[in-house]
Structure 1
């Protein structure tokens, strides 16, 4: 971990590179201070451009990240081949293509296969998680390269590992009963991820829900979790804490052979 970046602690193959940004190290000011990487939150475009330049330089990225138009859905696109960027996850098997998602309370999840041939990044707020974005990403990552539109969840998802990045923690994520019901209707064991708050409100554990959903997709080797964006204002942006705020980036790519 550095002031500007968190490096995932997981047993990824040596050619898999990954990092999550923090608030530190950029030029944005006011509620966006300082390392905002989102172009859609009304930050000064020149500041965002400089922050993205610094991101590429400091991580020695092989290319500009494949930034997505995130919509809180379940779509996953091929970062290097798809013309669409309207999705909440991207994947690649091409060295030098950088998958990226932006978050400020929603859960970023990074994926790779144990052979070091495929990687993915997913943005999982409660809506996307309930819609199955993590299952969809695991499914896409496991599909034959020529298809990428598999009909089912192949058995080789057990060869995928995942890492859960910073998100709003279970002590801070208050939701209504409709959110709990959405998960209970589709995810076995989801009841244990909700604690009653009173007056029809619940505290939801995004990390627990993500682990349940990944397990249902055959991904049981899951690392990370536990970094709360809401309670750590020095390091992380949080939309729940400050509705006008920046976004962190979670990035993953395959290094080119040297």
Structure 2
């Protein structure tokens, strides 16, 4: 079984809750997917992806296979009983043994956990999902008050690399005038967007005050991270959260 590149988020979690995020290091994939690719929709050899996913489960001692989603850059939140492959960009769980996971390669992985550890979620935050309100929808699934929920922001495209068109800035500013602070002028009519900053605004607006992580750019670190913006054809990394049985 291949070695895997996995790290534990620097994020205080209640007993019984575990979280992890992967890099491209290790793994069985080759070519443009070289390393620890966990995406089965990017053109990689299915046998390599299956080996990588099996290695992930073994390395982390997962209580069940991750409930991988068909991510569509929307705002749907799958629940603990929705099957793998559900068209959604977040998964919520309120019981042990459900592994919430999202795949990314520049988009922002966001993990959520209630202070008592009873409720968790993993959220895929691309700009479209953020603009559509995916963060607020995920927070809204929690029965726990948002003030008793904490968040972790994983590796994502940084503000020096995320160049977008004016329509992207307009989509955010239309809903939140203060979101303009997360954009700075780029080339011509283009803008440089701070994806983590936009996610923080959404979390704070939803009542989540304690936010860890952020600031790690996938584009800038080709040795450790896949990046769709940098490479085009590339693999996917996973961010996961679960409660032990």
TM-score, length of structure 2 as denominator length: 0.96
Partner of 1:39: 40
- Paired residue for 2:226? 237
Equivalents in 2 of 1:220, 1:206: separation in Å? Answer: 18
DSSP-derived class of the 2:200 partner: helix
Tell me the residue number matched to 1:223.
212
Once the two structures are TM-superposed, the CA of residue 3 in structure 1 deviates from its matched residue by 7.0
Q: SS of the counterpart of 1:46?
A: helix
Map 1:54-133 → 2, pairs under 5 A: 54-78=55-79, 80-83=80-83, 85-133=86-134
1:170 aligns with 2:171: no
Please give the root-mean-square deviation of Cα atoms over the aligned residues, in Å: 1.3
CA shift digits 1:159-213 (9 cap, x unpaired):
1100000000001000010000000011241011000013100100001100001
Q: What is the distance in 2 between the residues matched to 1:33 and 1:61?
A: 24
User: Residue 153 of structure 1 aligns with which residue?
Assistant: none
Q: Tell me how far apart the structure 1 counterparts of residues 77 and 154 of structure 2 sit (CA, whole Å).
A: 18
Q: In structure 1, how many angstroms separate the alpha carbons of the residues matched to 2:244 and 2:123?
A: 19
Residue aligned with 1:219, SS: coil
CA contact (8 A) 1:28 1:44 kept: yes
- The CA deviation at 1:141 is 2.2
Runs (4+) of structure 1 moved beyond 4 Å?
none
Query: Take 1:230 and 1:22, find their aligned partners in 2: how far apart are those partners?
Result: 13
| Structure 2 stretches lacking a partner, 5+ long | none
Tell me if the contact between 1:187 and 1:212 (Cα under 8 Å) persists in the aligned partners. Answer: no
Aligned length: 242
Q: CA contact under 8 A between 2:4 and 2:36: conserved in structure 1?
A: no
For the pair 1:206 / 2:195, whether they are aligned, the reply is: yes
Rounded Cα–Cα distance in structure 1 between residues aligned with 2:54 and 2:235 = 16
Is 1:191 the counterpart of 2:192 in the alignment?
Answer: no
For residue 50 of structure 1, what is the aligned residue in structure 2?
A: 51
- Give the distance between the partners of 1:171 and 1:252, measured in 2 at CA: 29
Distance between the aligned counterparts of 2:177 and 2:189, measured in 1?
Answer: 22
Q: CA deviation at 1:6?
A: 2.0
Contact 2:78 2:88 in 1 (8 A): yes
How many Å apart are 1:157 and its aligned residue?
Answer: 1.0
Comparing 219-228 with 80-89, greater Cα deviation is found at 80-89
